Structure 1
Amino acid sequence: MTTRLILDCDTGTDDAVAIMAAAGHPELDLVAVTTVNGNVPLENTTDNTLRVLDHVGADVPVYPGAARPLIRPDFPIPREVLNADSPEFQVLQLDLPEATSTAQQTGAVQFLIDTYLGDEGADIVLVATGPLTNLALALGAEPRLAARIPRLVIMGGGHRMGNVTPTAEFNFWVDPEAAEAVLTAGIRDVTIVPLDATHAAELTLADCDRFDAIGTPAALASSAFVRHRIDTALRGDAEAAASTAVHDAVCVAYLVDPEVVTRSGVHPVNVETTGTRTLGEMIVDTRQWTTEPTTARVAFDADAARFADVLADAFRG
């Protein structure tokens, strides 16, 4: 049975792989892509999304969203300062031909409201792989949305690790108020795929060789993006990267094959919005005796081989 989905993303290289997997897999129907400020500024996330879809010949509408966080004027640390140690890892413009398609005039927030308040949204999974600003704005403007979104899958947070600080993952750190608003809104079916799972399912150069052998535009572009991530990963001087996490694509693969996630649990989840050292931290209450209401299923581990298999199937499509 085909799963319909909307991708809400901040298109850099890992979002690009997720888009191509969603557009190409025979068990998925990519209804639309909404863009948000994150890995790169909004104008670049939107342009990159259009480039990716044009590259694989996918006629999917793109709706531009929020250009800044929900409350804050900018990231907690400006992007150019944050990326100073590895500016080549997250490029502004993906190395793909210039897009010929254009974005929709309707904004992402209004599109999400219209879609999920209408009957056509009743079976559409929302997959959010960037900061959660668009969804938080939509929920703030139309609280009924929480009862109308049938399923939400989020790439964000880290249970036992961070990547932008010792405790915080990038998407939640960029807009912690948006993440907390979404996770406490009462959406009935929420799955979070944090760094713990995405780093357990890293792709290797052998996976890139496999994609190259498939030879489709999606496979070749994905191989190039994964190789770039491996080549530019921030590691110690004596340590070469042998693999890389392609975080956002794990969420897409999970829709096709739930056994990509090998260990998970349903828990109360919150996001820290005020801590000086813990801003953006995802707090998962795993206490057996907790009295807090559960809010999300959290993935703690994943299967790299199954993840690569789903991508290969998508790229053949």
Structure 2
Amino acid sequence: MREKIIIDTDPGQDDAIAIFLALAAEDRLETLGVCAVAGNVPVVQTTANALRIMDVAGRRAPVYQGAEGPLVYELETAEFVCGPDGMDGAGLPGPVSVAEDGHAVDFIIRTLRAADDASITLCALGPLTNIALAFRLAADVKAKVKRIVVMGGAMNLGNITPAAEFNFYVDPHAASVVFNAGIPIVMMGLNITHKAICTHEQVARFAASETATGRSINGMLTRPRPASLGSVGHPVHDMCVIAYLLWPELFSGRDCDVQIDASDGPLRGRSTIDWNNRLKKPGNALVIDTIEPQTLFDRAIEKISILS
């Protein structure tokens, strides 16, 4: 049976590649919906980006527009990394398809309530605002979540501040709600996603597929980026979430207690991971620590090449 998933996302170049992989893996994954959230760019643009991704891939999953900003703080976006439209380099026109009526949070609640049991996996690629709102508005739906696979946090240094990874920094209160929801969580922090580097040779293989999707990925991964992000290759953070569902044998980690700092200061969004169990608390997340990137990209490139 295919695993039922909801993708919650703020596309974003690496979000786009994660969605492409999920759509290409329709033999393994049933994408019930794609929920846009404010993050890399405002939510109107992330919604448009999700639709653009569907259009170029030639596949269809319903897209819903979600939260316009974090639970407490003002929205901070990342155009300085991902470009004015969030998908700099993709070379895609505006969307042809349109978003579904209704709010993404209502879709999440409705879909989870309709599930027979804990059978739906939430794939969280952006700030966790939509998911936290769903849990706060309808606590009963938590029982229908099989697991949440999250790209967020960091075991060591952050990428938006010295302490914090971007997704958790944008909405730390939402991240705290989710990590304390009592649901199985798999955490893909920067410590692991910075090992998922798509090399220049691998990027060229996307282009060699001679598909619109491959050209789009090539453009996104070869666009000019801030010098501080390095030039060895391109980390594809969010793709790790979908890759974990398809090929869990390429990853390993450890159950840890993870707590998120929501304070308005230099530690905002910091994920404190008790890797060595110093606090003797039960783990609330499987924190991924190792990955086999070469095999991951070989498989992902082959899978995505079937898209238009």
Could you state the TM-score of these two structures normalised by the residue count of structure 2? 0.92
Q: Structure 2, unaligned stretches of length 5 or more?
A: none
Could you list the per-position Cα deviations for residues 248-284 of structure 1 after superposition, in whole angstroms to 9, with x for gaps in the alignment? 11111111101232x3100111100116221100011
- Maintained 8 Å contact 1:12/1:91: no
Tell me which amino acid in the other structure corresponds to 1:5. Answer: I
- Structure 1 residue aligned with 2:68: 67
- Maintained 8 Å contact 1:168/1:279: yes
Once the 2 structures are TM-superposed, how far is the Cα of residue 314 of structure 1 from its aligned partner?
Answer: 2.1
Match for residue 287 of structure 1 among 259, 273, 276: 276
- Structure 2 residue aligned with 1:113: 109
Could you list the per-position Cα deviations for residues 210-237 of structure 1 after superposition, in whole angstroms to 9, with x for gaps in the alignment? 1122223222211221112xx314328x
Identity, % of aligned pairs? Answer: 33
Q: Is 1:27 aligned with 2:28?
A: yes
- Maintained 8 Å contact 2:109/2:134: yes
Query: Aligned ranges for residues 192-231 of structure 1 at < 5 Å?
Result: 192-228=187-223, 231=224
Q: Structure 1, unaligned stretches of length 5 or more?
A: none
- Structure 2 residue aligned with 1:316: 305
- Maintained 8 Å contact 1:3/1:125: yes
Q: Cα–Cα, structure 1 residues 93 and 173, in superposed 2: closer, same or farther, change >3 Å?
A: closer
Helix, strand or coil at the partner of 2:146:
coil
Helix, strand or coil at the partner of 1:147:
helix
Helix, strand or coil at the partner of 1:110:
helix
Q: Is 1:191 aligned with 2:186?
A: yes
The CA RMSD measured in Å over matched residues stands at 1.8
Tell me which amino acid in the other structure corresponds to 1:234. Answer: A
Helix, strand or coil at the partner of 2:22:
helix
Query: Aligned ranges for residues 122-271 of structure 1 at < 5 Å?
Result: 122-187=118-183, 189-228=184-223, 231-235=224-228, 241-261=231-251, 263-271=252-260
Q: Is 1:50 aligned with 2:13?
A: no
Once the 2 structures are TM-superposed, how far is the Cα of residue 116 of structure 1 from its aligned partner?
Answer: 0.8
How many Å separate the matches in 2 of 1:68 and 1:246?
A: 24
- Structure 1 residue aligned with 2:5: 5
Q: Cα–Cα, structure 1 residues 68 and 275, in superposed 2: closer, same or farther, change >3 Å?
A: closer
Once the 2 structures are TM-superposed, how far is the Cα of residue 120 of structure 1 from its aligned partner?
Answer: 5.9
Helix, strand or coil at the partner of 2:139:
coil
How many Å separate the matches in 2 of 1:186 and 1:88?
A: 33
How many Å separate the matches in 2 of 1:249 and 1:31?
A: 18
Tell me which amino acid in the other structure corresponds to 1:192. Answer: M
Could you state the TM-score of these two structures normalised by the residue count of structure 1? 0.90
Q: Is 1:101 aligned with 2:109?
A: no
Q: Cα–Cα, structure 1 residues 234 and 21, in superposed 2: closer, same or farther, change >3 Å?
A: same
- Structure 1 residue aligned with 2:261: 272
Q: Cα–Cα, structure 1 residues 293 and 138, in superposed 2: closer, same or farther, change >3 Å?
A: same
How many Å separate the matches in 1 of 2:292 and 2:264?
A: 33
How many Å separate the matches in 2 of 1:184 and 1:227?
A: 38
- Maintained 8 Å contact 1:7/1:126: yes
Helix, strand or coil at the partner of 1:154:
strand
Tell me which amino acid in the other structure corresponds to 1:10. Answer: D
Tell me which amino acid in the other structure corresponds to 2:295. Answer: R
Tell me which amino acid in the other structure corresponds to 2:236. Answer: V
User: Which segment is superposed worse, 269-278 or 147-156?
Assistant: 269-278
Helix, strand or coil at the partner of 2:109:
helix
Matched residue count: 302
Once the 2 structures are TM-superposed, how far is the Cα of residue 289 of structure 1 from its aligned partner?
Answer: 4.8
Once the 2 structures are TM-superposed, how far is the Cα of residue 93 of structure 1 from its aligned partner?
Answer: 5.3
User: Which segment is superposed worse, 213-222 or 9-18?
Assistant: 213-222
- Structure 2 residue aligned with 1:92: 85
Once the 2 structures are TM-superposed, how far is the Cα of residue 292 of structure 1 from its aligned partner?
Answer: 1.7
How many Å separate the matches in 2 of 1:88 and 1:286?
A: 30
How many Å separate the matches in 1 of 2:148 and 2:168?
A: 15
How many Å separate the matches in 2 of 1:312 and 1:121?
A: 33
User: Which segment is superposed worse, 269-278 or 247-256?
Assistant: 269-278
Q: Cα–Cα, structure 1 residues 223 and 194, in superposed 2: closer, same or farther, change >3 Å?
A: same
Q: Cα–Cα, structure 1 residues 235 and 266, in superposed 2: closer, same or farther, change >3 Å?
A: same
